Amino acid sequence: MRIPQILLLLFLLSGCAVTVPGRAVPEPTSTTAPAPAPAPATLVADVLADECLLDADGFALLLESPVAPPANGGAPRSCATATTRGTPQALAAINVYGVRGGTPVDLLRSGRPLTGLGDAAVVVETAGGPTLQVASGRYLVTIAVAERDPDDLRWRTAGARALAGLP
């Protein structure tokens, strides 16, 4: 290797050899803490003293059979009834929930959308039977049915009647 090539190689490998007077400028830092993540939406049970948003006629229409008078009970509280005729005996129950840290729509489960009802509504298949979930205003209303599979018209009618009973 010749001397000019060696000098060129040393020059390229040495980097910048000029010192600039002054002081380093630190990276800007934020004086505010990052905003905390919003709390996840959670259900609040027992928000109404009377969760019987459907009367016996409303439940009978949903179940396509006469029913016993619906009654509040249980923990968490719900409104439930059963058919008085037919085998197997069908059951239905309503639960009303409030929501903390979000909206009722945030807590709808994945299911078959049911349009034209509340802010949003879905029918969810559960181990106990189909359940209508309706988000409206401050509430999430669930109507669960066992031993029956109501059609969309019956779900919409029951859901609309239940929403009409909300405070």
Structure confidence at residue 63 (pLDDT): 96
Structure confidence at residue 88 (pLDDT): 86
Given a cut of 50, the residues of the chain with pLDDT beneath it are 1-20
Structure confidence at residue 24 (pLDDT): 56
Structure confidence at residue 23 (pLDDT): 63
Q: Are strands 112-113 and 120-126 parallel, antiparallel or unpaired?
A: antiparallel
* Domain regions of the chain by residue span: 42-164
Residues 44-72: pLDDT tens digits?
999 999 999 999 999 999 999 999 999 99
Selection from 72, 82, 73 nearest residue 52 by Cα? 72
Structure confidence at residue 160 (pLDDT): 98
Helices and strands: H and E segment counts in the chain? 3, 8
